[in-house]
Each structure stands twice: as C-alpha cells, then as structure tokens.
Structure 1
C-alpha cells in the first residue's frame, strides 16, 4: 500500500524512499530528496534543492526549502541539507542558502525544532539542538551542538551560539554566546554556566568547577577581555577534566566575529 496520500502532490524528479510517509495535501518539489522512514505532515511544502535524511518527523504546514529572504537572491540553485532523526514541528520555516555565503543551510542530527521556528538562509545548526516555539534565526547564524534557544527569541544575523549554551525565552541576541553559558534578556547578557544541562550530559564535577572558574575569569573578575584570555589560557592547562572544555571556551572567544555578550 502506498505511503503517499492520494491528495499529496509529488513532482517528477523528487527522490523519495519507499518507506517515507507523506500526508494529505503536502507538496514535494522536483529537487527534493527524502530519506528512509521520514514522515511529512499534511499541507507541508518541501521545495528547492532540499535533501532530508532518515527518520525525520516533519509536522503539518511546515515550509521546508523555500527561497532565502535575501534581496540579493536571484534564483541560484542553493541548498538546504537536513540530517537524521530530527523533529520539525508545524509551521516551521527552513530556507535554502545564498551564493554570498556557502550556498547551503544545514540542520544536523537529532534536533528538536518546535512550532513556528524560523531558520534563515545560510544558518548552520549542529546536533542535538533544541529550538523552542517562535525562536527566529536571521541569516548566517551558527548554533553549535547541544545548544538550547528559548521561545520567542530573536537572533541577529551572523551570531554564533556556542555548544551546551542556553538562551532564555524572549531574548534578543545580537552578539555571540560562548559555549556552556546561559544568556537571557533584551539585549541578552550572561547569567552563569549551564550547570544543569552539563550534568545531564555527563560532565564531571571537576569539569563543571573548571568552567565556573572560567566564567568568573571572563565575566566577574573585572578583567579586560584580553586579560581574561590570558588567564583562560592558564586555566586550560590546569591538568584536570575541565581543560578541554576551558580550551573550547577560549577558542570560541578568540574566534568570535561579532564579539561575545558582556
């Protein structure tokens, strides 16, 4: 028995695994590829040069692979690539990239993307990310593994959100959030280390203690950013479980293009 509802529209050229389920009135474009055991909810539109991996769940009325909301876009065949085991809820919008960047918007694996979320062109989302309802990412945003973005949060273009960080609901984010840090507010400011999230993911007590020391160095000791980076480099060589994580924090700060939240 067909797993594609008879009212769905699947254009010629679409590559759909035989195990994919497509609901009523969904539309699948000619340049879409959908991997095994993925389900597509009713009235959803999957278009553009979009590749979707295996075991994804796409809710009703989702808009996947639409043209980027960038006035420079002239119809180039840019892409959206979605990994495996993602949940993408109803009314989500995920757009393709632009030639002004890499030309690809990327969603990793095992992400939980709730209702009404927008992921703009050229964004790159890692793995195990949670995007709460109505969170909105402008173009070129990077979200690293295990980050959480709260509901109704707006993220400025080119911002990077570090791994294991958490951005509180209804925040406005215009600068980078370092890994492991909690941020919230309009404009978002730091509120400590994401201790509970790190414990849930198996971080040791020593590693969390080292990150707390790093946070104090960066935000609480009255140091300039350059002074803080020198001390963070020392902390990253303390010889404990936290060294690799403090080094990741330092590397993020040094690589930040928009500057970190302060």
Structure 2
C-alpha cells in the first residue's frame, strides 16, 4: 500500500508500487517507482524516470531533470534508470540522457551523498559511493566498488575502473584505472587503493600482484604499450588482465603516475 502525503503532487500516469512519498514531493508523468522506495519531502522525480526497489530519495533531490546541454532538445524522450537499494541524499541531482530512447543509469547499492551530481548519459555500475559535492560530467562510466571522495570533479567521457578511489578535491581529466588511488590537480596515480581492496576482501597476495602490474606499467621506464606487451607474456592473474584491458580500451588516456611504491 502506498503512503502518500496529501501535499505531494503526483501525475496520474505515474506508477507507484508500495512506496512512501513525503510532503510536497513531485512525481511527474510516466515515472515508475518500485516497492519500498521512499521519496522524501520536496524531492522531484521527473517524467520517464524509472526507480527500482528499496531506494531512499532524499529531501529536494532531483531525478531525471533535463541535461545541462545547450543543444539539448527538450522534446526528446529520454530518461533515468535507477536500480535497487540505492541511497540518494538531499539535493543530489541525476540528469536524463541526451539521446532519444536512452537513459542515464545507476545500478544497485550505490550511495550518492548530499549535493553530488550525475550528469547526462553517465553509467554507474554497482556499489559506487559519491561523497558530498562530487561532480560527474556527461558520459562518464564508473565501475563497481568505486569510492569518490568529496568535491571531486570528473571530466566528461572519463572512465573510473573497479575498486578505485578518487581522493578529495581531485580534478580527474583522464581515466582512473582499476584498484588505483588517484589524487591531485590534475589527478595522478599515487598507489593502489590498499584500504578499499582490504575491505573488499582482496588477499595480500592479490594486492601484491596488482602492485607488481602497476610497477611495470608506471615505474619500469616503459611506455604503456611496451609495458602491456610485457605483461601479456606473463602470468598476471585475473586482476592484472582487468588492468591491461582497461588501458587497452581507454579512449581519453589513463592518468599518469606520481611516485613509486614498494612491493612490501
């Protein structure tokens, strides 16, 4: 049974499945909100937005607003798709796609903290955390288990690999590779994301293997292409293959390195 505050404004075509809607929230035409999702006071769910189960949409968050693209045709039918078990806190914003029939996508178990921003055509996979005031430009792809600290700004079309961490106030202008700790203005590779990998259950052996791959890529005097060719001839394990695939498929280029680190 839906629990809807009488001051909420809900379009008749919106589909609500056992949800809670707070005071003065607005749900526009053809929105779909899955069961056990809570929409707090003042939040706005724009037309054609699809939100899954067990989500929390915070006060004055806006989901599915028009993209901030001066060439965008507001008559295009585009949207936002959000999966299950996400927390989207107060005043966070998620903008709809710029392309007909397509969507900005957020997966499952993500946490978007207050005032964070997801621009048009972004894809967030699962278990992604964006801290307060972090800003994602258009067409960014963020893979599983990424942690983005506060006040980070990420350039459009960038990718952030799985289990990476982007340190606070970083300006990320290129792709951040998997398992990495990236920090700076502009962001550079500092070391591997040791704390994040430990929390994710990576063994000491796995972490050492990842370090050795990055030592070859960044600190052995080779170009990226030379390092990758060398690594492809070695037994680098599944995590090493993920790193190599990321470098080989990068379109913006991967961040440069900042310093060396030991294998201990």
CA displacement at 1:232 relative to structure 2: 2.3
Task: Give distance in 2, aligned partners of 1:232 and 1:94.
Answer: 39
How far has the Cα of 1:195 moved from its partner? 1.4
> CA RMSD for the aligned pairs?
1.2
What are the equivalent positions in structure 2 for 1:176-195 lying under 5 Å apart? 176-195=175-194
Which of 231, 245, 248 aligns to 1:254? It is 248
- The SS at the match of 2:206 is helix
Give the TM-score normalised by structure 1. Answer: 0.95
What corresponds to 1:15 in structure 2?
15
- Per-residue deviation, 1:231: 2.2
Structure 1 CA distance, aligned partners of 2:123 and 2:138?
10
Q: For 1:40-189, list aligned pairs within 5 A.
A: 40-75=39-74, 76-99=76-99, 103-189=102-188
In the TM superposition, residue 48 of structure 1 has moved relative to its aligned partner by 2.3
Give the drift of 1:234.
2.9
Greater CA drift, 200-209 or 24-33 = 200-209
Q: Does structure 1 conserve the Cα–Cα contact (< 8 Å) formed by 2:124 and 2:143?
A: yes
1:221 corresponding residue in structure 2: 220
CA distance in 1, matches of 2:230, 2:206: 17
Instruction: Tell me how far apart the structure 2 counterparts of residues 39 and 86 of structure 1 sit (CA, whole Å).
Output: 11
Looking at structure 1, the residues matched to 170 and 51 of structure 2 have their Cα atoms a distance apart, in angstroms, of 30
Aligned counterpart, 2:260: none
| Residue aligning to 1:5 | 5
Q: How far 1:2 sits from its partner (Å)? A: 5.4
CA distance in 2: counterparts of 1:104 and 1:51, whole angstroms: 10
Q: Does 1:200 align with 2:199?
A: yes
Deviations 1:184-213 (A, max 9, x none): 111000111111211111112221111000
Match of 1:245 among 214, 229, 239: 239
How far the C-alpha of 1:219 sits from its partner, in A, is: 1.1
Is 1:48–1:67's contact at 8 Å kept on the other side of the alignment?
A: no
Does the Cα contact within 8 Å between 2:27 and 2:47 map onto a contact in 1? no
Q: State the alpha-carbon separation in 2 of the partners of residues 188 and 153 from structure 1.
A: 10
* SS at 2:4 equivalent: coil
Query: Aligned residue pairs: how many?
Result: 255
CA contact (8 A) 1:111 1:130 kept: yes
8 A Cα contact 2:174 2:253, kept in partner: yes
Q: TM-score by structure 2 length? A: 0.94
Distance (whole Å) between structure 1 residues aligned to residue 136 and residue 47 of structure 2: 19
Tell me by how many angstroms 1:121 deviates. 0.2
The structure 1 segments of at least 4 consecutive aligned residues displaced by more than 2 Å after TM superposition are none
Per-residue deviation, 1:87:
0.3
Aligned partners of 2:184 and 2:204: how far apart in 1?
28
Take 1:204 and 1:253, find their aligned partners in 2: how far apart are those partners?
23
